[in-house]
Chains A and B, each alone.
Chain A
């Protein structure tokens, strides 16, 4: 008897696979190909082998080398500071919201989550006005004499402020959902055994939300490497290119004021992708091993 094929899964997964192939997979493959070419989008790509990579990585006289490493350095600064903030702050909020004495939990959660729904352009305008020395709250209310977007470390600080303000909500929801699933019996037993809040957090909560933690850590790190909107809108890469992250250079090269230099931009994007891949794999390996 002929076995009947169940087409239902294909019906649900198929459209996603098709869209993934068209909008993610094929452009990625073409982007990798483009990274080995000299291409300005208008003309046919010209194969140059590893030239773009050699220029970016080793030609110290080249603007592309300087821009790449400056952008990469600034990106690492952003990742190194924002990722811990975007993991620790939401975790603390989620734990605090689970406390029995906290009222109106859903309202607080909504208030924290809502900034994440605001577009980065609108959010940047709001925060730039707040930090405006002449017209904003910091200058008028607190008497601050700092031109925030034009002075370091304040330029980084306002970028982190807007990042945390808009970014904690998503991870907080994931942590809350995970923490609420932890059995209360475990906490009660630990309490009877004399474990304090810190011990309960370290020995019960953290191990119980191991997988959400790994997930958010890897995803937040990947997202942070792709940072673009905050430095573009808040500081435009200044002062002195100190907040000019790699994605800003890549976009400028690919679609900037001048004609496109898509081959070089693709090579930079591939290198950034490789960095993200390696770091994500390392994170997953280390966290999973430690948790095992």
Chain B
């Protein structure tokens, strides 16, 4: 009986581990956190690549809670995937903890996998102390959709002339809107605040220390609060995203990836521009990037690294499919192609100024700062809490987490 139980247990464990791990020398196990519609586009890209009959095929595994699983497999050293997609803000922490393999061999195997062939910010987020740890797939940002019909109705089309919709321009609509109509919603408000930090010339760190309780952060919240105070922002607690889709909101601050969902709404006549700004001189679309990375794994062979290089080169040349997910493809070959210009998000790679507006935070503790901003943004923008006290709380929130997390070790 004991033998039977042991056998059953062994079969279960082998089945589970072989499904997750990267031990098959003829397969590149590729983990992504793409649990939404974008997972299907990535599936298609992998399918297209495998149809080219490469020596080593790619197996795409969509992994919910991927970062937790990354921690687990890295800790145990078992079942580490050959290739992963990680977000830009993870790179500094992962590199500091020795969790990433550098891309030197991969880049040597396929010489076109180089900085000049990618959007500069996307490439540089993977560069730490001169070493390249990632190859970028895309840049995805908070942007601002607009309802063309409502802009016309309220004679606000001129707001778009210089590609910077200012907060003052929005405030000029005060008292002019019909009941139930609003100028802007509060979707992804945390990301909007992080955009304003850049617009106001600030940052979220000073000399490596988190800088949350700062005059710039206060100013960023106060600027956004002006819109809410004027009654022009969708009501707190209401689904502003849905209200934009129902045609009651002029501007919606949301991700590039939402363009596909908006396009599915019948009668929604919309376009896309930059996130609003307190100043005419600067606009920023706070962004992140999906990056191909190799978690540390001593069992990854040179042949597999060459296979990974081939796959990444295929993606560089053929990732137009990824544009369907609403993302700004990082490969210049793709984002400069005529076909790509048909996608709405190509607006953000249409000139140097737009490309520069795609700002990616690379501060090591960005995730903690973003969590603090996300937690308190809605209450602060609505004036429900005291701004000075709350900024103090947020600063402590980040410092405590750094002390208890990696930073404390």
Binding site for B on A (CB under 8 A): 7, 10-11, 14-15, 18, 38, 40-44, 46, 61-64, 128-129, 132-135, 147-151, 155, 237-240, 252, 254-261, 263-264
> Which chain B residues lie closer than 8 Å to A62 at the CB level?
400
Q: Is the interface of A mostly helix, strand, loop or mixed?
A: loop
- A134 near B180: Cβ-Cβ < 8 Å: yes
- A135 near B239: Cβ-Cβ < 8 Å: yes
From B68-76, B151-159, B255-263, give the one contacting chain A.
B68-76
- B351 at the A/B interface (Cβ < 8 Å)? no
- B368 near A239: Cβ-Cβ < 8 Å: no
> Which chain B residues lie closer than 8 Å to A63 at the CB level?
393, 396-397, 400-401
Q: How far is the CA of A64 from the CA of B393 in the complex (A)?
A: 12
Q: How far is the CA of A40 from the CA of B406 in the complex (A)?
A: 6
Q: How far is the CA of A261 from the CA of B405 in the complex (A)?
A: 5
Most buried by A among B237, B248, B374, B393: B237
> Which chain A residues lie closer than 8 Å to B67 at the CB level?
255
- A18 near B65: Cβ-Cβ < 8 Å: no
The residue that A64 contacts in the complex, of B93, B400, B408, with Cβ under 8 A, is: B400
Given contacts A147-B235, A151-B237, A259-B405, contact A134 B1 (CB under 8 A): no
> Which chain A residues lie closer than 8 Å to B237 at the CB level?
133, 147-151, 155, 238-239
- B239 near A128: Cβ-Cβ < 8 Å: yes
- B404 near A38: Cβ-Cβ < 8 Å: yes
* 13 A-B contacts (beta carbon < 8 Å): A18-B5, A42-B71, A42-B406, A63-B400, A132-B239, A132-B242, A133-B237, A133-B238, A150-B238, A239-B236, A239-B237, A258-B365, A261-B401
- B405 near A255: Cβ-Cβ < 8 Å: no
Q: How far is the CA of A123 from the CA of B393 in the complex (A)?
A: 33
Given contacts A41-B71, A134-B248, contact A238 B239 (CB under 8 A): no
List the A residue with the shortest CB-CB distance to B9: A18
List the A residue with the shortest CB-CB distance to B5: A14
Q: How far is the CA of A275 from the CA of B248 in the complex (A)?
A: 47
- A134 near B238: Cβ-Cβ < 8 Å: yes
- B367 at the A/B interface (Cβ < 8 Å)? yes
List the B residue with the shortest CB-CB distance to A244: B375
- B384 near A239: Cβ-Cβ < 8 Å: yes
- B408 near A38: Cβ-Cβ < 8 Å: yes
The residue that B1 contacts in the complex, of A10, A42, A147, A254, with Cβ under 8 A, is: A10
List the A residue with the shortest CB-CB distance to B400: A63
> Which chain A residues lie closer than 8 Å to B302 at the CB level?
none
Given contacts A132-B242, A134-B243, contact A150 B75 (CB under 8 A): no
Q: How far is the CA of A7 from the CA of B406 in the complex (A)?
A: 50
Given contacts A38-B408, A260-B71, contact A240 B384 (CB under 8 A): yes
- B68 near A260: Cβ-Cβ < 8 Å: yes
- B97 near A43: Cβ-Cβ < 8 Å: yes
Taking A133-B238, A237-B375, A252-B371 as given, write out 7 further A-B residue pairs in contact, using a Cβ cutoff of 8 Å, ordered by the A residue number.
A14-B5, A38-B404, A64-B404, A135-B242, A255-B68, A257-B374, A260-B405
- B379 at the A/B interface (Cβ < 8 Å)? yes
> Which chain A residues lie closer than 8 Å to B93 at the CB level?
259
